[in-house]
Amino acid sequence: MALFLSSAAISGPFLTPAAAQSYSFSSVQVEGNQAIESATIVAYAGIGRGETVSAARLNDAYQAIVNSGLFESVELVPQGGTLLIRVVEYPMINIVNFEGNRRLDDEELAEIAKSKGRLVYSPSQAEEDAANIADAYRQRGRIAATVEPRIIRRDGNRVDLVFEITEGRVAEIERLAFVGNRAFSDRRLRQVLETKQAGLLRQIIRSDTFVAERLELDKQLLRDFYLARGYADVQVLDATSDVARERDAFFVTITIREGQQFRIGDVSTVSEIEGLEAAEFAAVQRIRPGEVWSPALIDNNIARMENLALRKGLNFVRVDPRITRDERGGVLDVEFAIVRGERIFVERIDIEGNTTTLDQVVRRQFRTAEGDPLNAREIRQSAERIRALGFFSDAQVNAEPGSTPDQVVVNVDVEEQPTGSLTFGASYGVASGIGFNISLSEQNFLGRGQAVGLSLTSGTDASEGSFTFREPAFLGRDVALKFGISYRESDNENSATFDTRVGRISPALEFPVGELSRLEIRYTYQDSKITGLPATASDILQLEQAQGAVTTSSVGYTYSYDSRISGLNPRGGVLLRFGQDFAGLGGDSEYVMTNVLALAETRIRQEEVTLRAIFEGGMINSLGGTNSRITERFFGNGKIRGFEPGGIGPRELSADNEALGGNMFAVARFEADFPLGLPEEYGITGGLFLDVGSVWSLDNINGGVGGGVAVDDSLNLRSSVGFSVFWTTPVGPLRLNFSTPLVKEDYDLEQNFDLTVSTTF
């Protein structure tokens, strides 16, 4: 039997009927094959020479050859002692093309399609590829997309496979509604979900497209939201979606059964382990009657008690929460029972799916090591820490039986996602004008979990470049090593008449000192210079310019406490920061710089209104007979709205009203953020604010030229009120402030409107 390499046309398969009798073939002959070996086809048939076969057996042979997927038609013809197998082969694919695609490029589609050039064409595979491509469009909200596979015949038994794509319009979520919610409004619940209602920026925002799989995540997010607020019996019953007649929009309805809100009732601790006193464990609890019940509140207190047991060298101690419900009173009585747990050890921790991220990055999220006693709660918390890294689109952590009954294997299955970004952008500020920037960042550098960032900014008045590096587990400990270097040049800085140049290098270490608090220790080296002062400029600034380049070498620390990260009070929390820098370890400057910030916020009226109070202050104490410089002093820029950058603070009134900055500043800001009644999907909310504060105090008010210089560095309070508009856009949360100063000095510079990118503390 000879082999010839060529191609054939496509037609449907058929089988010649065979009589209901037995056959015995002394030979098998194959016809029509050009690319497939005859021996391969005979092997698919499975009929040996001299073997007695029935008509049913011949039919099985026919099905086996057809199911190989290599032939478009097969015919088995008994000819006396010879079995003739006639086949028509599928052609080879010359090239795979995509037509009509705009939203997905050819490279993305080629990864989805399994049909490839130089492979045998299979109609079933082409249909499967078409379905997978249509599903990819469905994931992007284009449920009306259609994909049709077509072939174009070429010479030499080859075909071009073309997928003709009609993308259709995006199927947006036109309405996202809730049924059964009484405690929280639709507007508030929409903020919880990953799915978003189509809004003003529907052509840019992808989260308003309908993805059925996302609804399951949304149901879990809603359930977690209610549980964190004391609704222990909440049920998210259903999430239904109805498609519009035009198939370009969805109407999603989520049904909720809230139940009642529970608070903590009586709290007690008992020990069921002989010789172990419960009082010592009760002392580490941070739970009080009257608090809103939440799973996080219970888990955090259990973790404190179990950690105490570990510190005392007590293994296999478990704390069980026993809840007694009082439906009428709306309280849950909690009894923490200290019991003996099962003697189970962690045999090993297996990690799979991390093609880029090193094992050690995932492994260090576990507080449990191989060989340690199993703590199920710690395994769950480790899983949350892995997900919080942001390196993986999915992370599953499960425990399975080990090699012996008293051991388990912890399996970690992750799915990588991109962690780097290259950003080109533009910015605008009323005072600073138009600026352009480019930034490159990688949050998982070389798979080591390190963060690296490079940024270049060029604006109307300033240019700046910076490089940052962060190692989150220095020497394998919960210590972050940080390093930053920056260089900035400005002309007309703060609308002034001089130029500045500032270069800075700052390594730092940051580590936890409590559950909610951290401490940063840093060193900073800075080189600064003032140039370009006109002859009519301030005598004080002339003196500082005459000093030339000034270097500063300092060490410092910052202590921070943030209760907002615990999740125990989802309606708000407090943030405290206190830091000091001590300059004088070499260099030209000697001072102690102190900064303090205190923030408290809470949500009211179904959590739709946020009230916030912020207190900030700073002070420079110059030492060794040195004076502070303008590159070190405070200006209060952005601290008190209604004034230009450099618009308040000490001034030499006889020198073009030049802002000098101050050694001290203090500000109190009171804010309220609330909805404006606009459709929630527009992402536009409002706010009111009241700012009170001042910048004051200089070391030198004579300019070093004998006195008589008119400088006002007094503590003169300023205040302003205003209205803010917040707009959530793809480029960031924009904030528009409209403000009016209430108390000011005659020489202050007002600014009644400014546009900024809203930031969080």
pLDDT tens readout for residues 108-157: 999 999 999 888 898 889 999 999 999 888 877 787 789 999 999 898 88
* Predicted pLDDT of residue 350: 94
- Mean per-residue pLDDT, 486-515: 84
Q: Which of 97, 106, 81, 100 is nearest to 28 (CA)?
A: 81
The full 3-state SS of 740-751, as one line of letters, equals: EEEECCCCCCEC
End-to-end alpha-carbon separation of the chain, Å?
80
Claim: this prediction has a pTM higher than 0.85: no
| E runs forming strands in 263-357 | 263-271, 317-326, 331-340, 345-352
Q: Which of 107, 69, 109 is nearest to 89 (CA)?
A: 69
pLDDT tens readout for residues 39-93: 888 888 888 888 888 888 889 889 998 888 788 889 998 888 888 899 988 888 9
Residues 6+ apart with CB under 8 A from 200: 681, 682, 683, 684
Distance CA 416, CA 362 (A): 12
* Residue 690 banded pLDDT, cuts 50, 70, 90: very high
Distance CA 667, CA 665 (A): 7
* Residue 1 banded pLDDT, cuts 50, 70, 90: very low
pLDDT(747) > 90: no
* Residue 730 banded pLDDT, cuts 50, 70, 90: low
* Residue 425 banded pLDDT, cuts 50, 70, 90: low
pLDDT tens readout for residues 79-108: 888 888 999 888 889 999 999 998 899 999
Tokens representing residue 174 in the block: 């036109």
* Predicted pLDDT of residue 298: 93
Backbone phi, then psi, for 62, in 5-degree steps? -60, -50
pLDDT(17) > 50: no
Adjacent-strand bridge partners of 466: 455, 486
* Predicted pLDDT of residue 494: 47
Q: Is 587 left (phi over 0), alpha (psi -120 to 50) or beta?
A: left
Taking each helix axis from N to C end, the angle separating 295-311 and 376-388, rounded to the nearest 10 degrees, works out to 120
Parallel, antiparallel, or unpaired for β 392-401 and 407-416? antiparallel
* Residue 37 banded pLDDT, cuts 50, 70, 90: confident
* Predicted pLDDT of residue 655: 61
Written as one letter, the residue type at 275 is G
pLDDT tens readout for residues 214-225: 888 899 999 999
- Mean per-residue pLDDT, 392-420: 90
pLDDT tens readout for residues 580-627: 999 999 889 999 999 999 999 999 988 899 999 999 999 999 998 889
Which comes out higher in pLDDT, residue 669 or 476? 669
> Would you tell me how many other CB atoms lie within 10 Å of the CB of residue 56?
10
pLDDT(19) > 60: no
Q: Which of 258, 238, 294, 240 is nearest to 184 (CA)?
A: 258
Which comes out higher in pLDDT, residue 89 or 554? 554
pLDDT(203) > 60: no
Distance CA 504, CA 599 (A): 28
pLDDT tens readout for residues 225-253: 999 999 999 999 988 888 777 666 788 99
Return the SS3 of 190.
Answer: helix
pLDDT tens readout for residues 277-319: 999 999 999 899 999 999 989 988 998 898 899 888 888 899 9
Kindly report the average pLDDT of the chain as a whole number: 86
**How far is C-alpha 757 from the chain's CA centre?**
19
Tokens representing residue 255 in the block: 């049904």
Residues 6+ apart with CB under 8 A from 535: none
* Predicted pLDDT of residue 511: 95
- Show the CA angle centred on residue 218, arms to residues 216 and 224, nearest 5°: 110
* Residue 18 banded pLDDT, cuts 50, 70, 90: very low
Written as one letter, the residue type at 61 is A
Parallel, antiparallel, or unpaired for β 249-257 and 92-99? unpaired
Residue 632 contacts residue 620 (beta carbons within 8 Å) = yes
* Residue 171 banded pLDDT, cuts 50, 70, 90: confident
Tokens representing residue 562 in the block: 């943030």
Q: Which of 30, 26, 27 is nearest to 2 (CA)?
A: 30
Q: What element of type H or E holds 578?
A: strand 572-587
* Predicted pLDDT of residue 266: 95
Longest CA pairwise span in the chain (Å): 128
* Predicted pLDDT of residue 663: 96
Q: Which of 469, 484, 580 is nearest to 526 (CA)?
A: 484
Distance CA 73, CA 10 (A): 8
Q: Report DSSP state, residue 461.
A: S
Tokens representing residue 463 in the block: 């240019």
As a whole number of Å, the CA-based R_g of the chain is 36
Residue 201 contacts residue 681 (beta carbons within 8 Å) = no
Domains of the chain: 22-89 (3.10.20.310), 92-166 (3.10.20.310), 172-257 (3.10.20.310), 263-340 (3.10.20.310), 345-416 (3.10.20.310), 524-562+577-757 (2.40.160.50)
Residue 685 contacts residue 676 (beta carbons within 8 Å) = yes
The number of helices, as runs of H, and strands, as runs of E, in the chain is: 11, 36
Adjacent-strand bridge partners of 235: 257
Distance CA 167, CA 103 (A): 8
Return the SS3 of 715.
Answer: coil
* Predicted pLDDT of residue 13: 39
Q: Which of 279-288, 380-389, 559-568 has the lowest mean pLDDT?
A: 559-568
Torsion of CA 29, 32, 33, 35, to 10 degrees: 160
Tokens representing residue 555 in the block: 């060490």
At which residue do the structure tokens 């004088």 appear? Answer: 584
Q: Which of 759, 754, 692, 745 is nearest to 723 (CA)?
A: 754
Query: Residue 662, CB half-sphere, CA atoms under 13 Å: how many?
Result: 26
Q: Report DSSP state, residue 298.
A: H
Backbone phi, then psi, for 352, in 5-degree steps? -135, 150
* Predicted pLDDT of residue 432: 59
In this prediction, what percent of the chain has a pLDDT beyond 70? 90
* Predicted pLDDT of residue 8: 31
Query: How would DSSP label each residue in 233-265?
Result: T-EEEEEEEEE-TTSSEEEEEEEEE-----EEE
Range picked from 5-14, 246-255, 667-676 for highest mean pLDDT: 667-676
Residue 255 contacts residue 237 (beta carbons within 8 Å) = yes
Q: Which of 678, 676, 683 is nearest to 732 (CA)?
A: 683
> Would you tell me how many other CB atoms lie within 10 Å of the CB of residue 211?
19
Residue 110 contacts residue 174 (beta carbons within 8 Å) = no
Q: Which of 185-194, 531-540, 713-722 has the lowest mean pLDDT?
A: 531-540
pLDDT tens readout for residues 181-197: 999 999 899 989 888 88
Within 408-563, residue ranges assigned H as helices are: 539-546
